[in-house]
Amino acid sequence: MSSLIYLDNGATSFPKPEVVYTAMDTFYRQYGVNPGRSGFDLCLEAGSLVDRTRKLLRDFFGGTDPNRLVFGYNSTDALNLAIFGLVNPGDHVVTTHLEHNSSLRPLWALEHESGVKVDWVDFDAQGWVDPQELIDRITPGTRAVVMNHGSNVIGTVQDVAPIGRVCREQGVHLILDVSQTAGVVPVDLETLGADVICFTGHKSLMGPMGIGGMYVREGVEIRHTRAGGTGVKSAQRHHLDEYPYRMEYGTPNLPGIAGLHAGVHWVLEQGMAKLHEHEMRLWTSLRDGLREVPGVILYCAEDVPGRERISVLSFNVEGLEAADTGTMLDVDHNIACRTGLHCTPMVHEHLGTDQIHGAVRFGIGPFNTQAHIDAAIAAVAEIASLRAVRS
Ligand SMILES: Cc1ncc(COP(=O)(O)O)c(C=O)c1O
């Protein structure tokens, strides 16, 4: 059988650039010690890696203070810390139906356990939230807007800047989930008007799994919802208030930081715009090819002038469960995709695909080629034609 065609980059990018593997291996072999805890040379070297990566990501997100770039496991971790640490019982929060469970579930918990009122804004037929509709939901009692920058199901990138402007004017915290966009679409704290940017390292930033974090704007003080070792001020009984320690707990994921550092450098060297253009060229080819296949239903895949997208595409083959299409792509064609609800149940409820156990999603990454796309279109066409013969 031909070698695997990996089209599940929306879940995680794979493979990684060679420099990422090298950086992780080098870290553990040459200076794999706990940073910031002692003064010996290796410890300082490990600490320097952390500091340099904070600065790199501070610049990447257009922040001002590297200490406000805090590391955690992933964006789920960061979103939990930001949401539970900024929203108080009885507050009002505005969010959207495009949210991933990483913010949907914390918000649901606050709504059901802490009397937080959550307003859910829907997206239109093409997959975009109308910024004015969201802004209209902001009231004097609104504490935060929590929103997904780029959809992991339909790929639409939301027009966040007008929402951010109003949030800044009205003192509302904008907590932005950039899991899918960071690394392919510019994410600038000031342009977008965000207070907290939550990122994960293992998607388009090209780092490994288990490393992510957030950038917290100066003046925004997130309440501690955890406490633990920081390696400094150890006699102090309450957790430190100063960033980055305020939001970091225990030994950080140093091999992850080493890999992320290399991944972000690789993205910057390639050029984000160039990577995005490559992926979107393949996305358009995939979309156009699948459009021609009888029995294929595409979701929110129309071009809308002036609107931005990232390279995930969801579809179903008429009469087939998404999981069955996925199994045939895997077993018969050696193509990896992602099927189901993609941790975003409200998107599928809106599309009606929750009734058929979700959709099939292709996620295109920097190492995909036109040959991969051609093979994927041919494979879906074969599956659709077999289905047509059987029915
Ligand atoms: C939009 C979005 N938000 C959040 C996440 C969660 O990312 P992680 O699992 O790395 O925390 C994902 C991952 O698929 C995502 O696509």
| Contact by Cβ (8 Å): 205, 67 | no
**Ligand 1 midpoint to CA 109 (Å):** 18
Q: Roughly how many angstroms between the first and final C-alpha of the chain, as a whole number?
A: 28
Two tokens, residue 58: 């501070």
Residues 268-284 have pLDDT tens digits of 999 999 999 999 999 99
Minimum mean pLDDT range among 4-18, 24-38, 56-70, 278-292: 24-38
Q: Specify the ligand 1 atom closest to the Cα of 201.
A: 10
The 10s digit of each residue's pLDDT in 54-87 is 999 999 999 999 999 999 999 999 999 999 999 9
Pull the structure tokens for residue 327: 């199994």
pLDDT at position 239: 93
Reported as a single tens digit per residue, the pLDDT across 164-214 is: 999 999 999 999 999 999 999 999 999 999 999 999 999 999 999 999 999
Ligand 1 in contact with 142 (CB < 6 A)? Answer: no
Task: Give pLDDT, residue 111.
Answer: 96
285-326 pLDDT, tens digit each: 999 999 999 999 999 999 999 999 999 999 999 999 999 999
Q: Calculate mean pLDDT across residues 358-383.
A: 98
Mutating to test ligand 1, I would choose from 8, 9, 76, 181 the residue with most ligand atoms within 8 A of its C-beta, which is 76
pLDDT on residue 39: 85
State yes or no: pLDDT of 2 exceeds 80.
no
What is the average pLDDT score of the chain?
Answer: 96
Ligand 1 centroid distance, CA of 228 (Å): 25
**Angle (deg, nearest 10), helices 101-113 and 75-86:** 30
**Cα 327 to ligand 1 centroid, rounded to whole Å:** 23
Write down the pLDDT at residue 356.
83
For residues 242-253, average pLDDT: 96
The Cα–Cα gap between 375 and 367 comes to 15
Is 204 a pocket residue for ligand 1 (Cβ < 6 Å)? no
pLDDT at 36: 77
pLDDT band at 142 (very low <50, low <70, confident <90, very high): very high
pLDDT of 61 reads 98
Probe residue for ligand 1, chosen from 187, 200, 209 as the CB with the greatest number of ligand atoms within 8 Å: 200
d(CA 349, CA 347) in angstroms, rounded, equals 5
Ligand 1 in reach of 177 Cβ (< 6 A): yes
pLDDT of residue 346: 93
**Mean pLDDT for the stretch of residues 6-26:** 98
326 near 294, Cβ under 8 Å? no
What integer pLDDT is reported at residue 166 of this predicted model?
98
Residue 126 pLDDT greater than 70, yes or no: yes
Distance 130 CA to ligand 1 centre (A): 23
Q: Is the pLDDT of residue 1 over 80?
A: no
The β-bridge relationship of strands 312-317 and 359-363 is: antiparallel
Which residue, among 273, 107, 282, has the nearest Cα to 177 in the 3D structure?
Answer: 107
- CA of 148 relative to ligand 1 center, distance in Å: 10
Q: How confident is the model at residue 127 (pLDDT cuts 50, 70, 90)?
A: very high
Q: Is residue 114's pLDDT more than 60? A: yes
- Residue 390 pLDDT level (bands cut at 50, 70, 90): low
What's phi and psi for 212, nearest 5 deg?
-170, -155
**What ranges make up the beta strands (E) of the chain?**
5-6, 69-72, 92-96, 117-121, 142-148, 156-157, 173-177, 196-200, 212-216, 296-298, 308-309, 312-317, 335-336, 338-340, 359-363
User: Which residue type sits at 26?
Assistant: T
Predicted TM-score (pTM) of the model is 0.96
350 SS3 class: helix
Average of per-residue pLDDT across 357-385: 97
Tell me the domains of the chain and their CATH numbers. 18-269 (3.40.640.10), 271-390 (3.90.1150.10)
Using pLDDT thresholds of 50, 70 and 90, give the confidence band for residue 354: confident
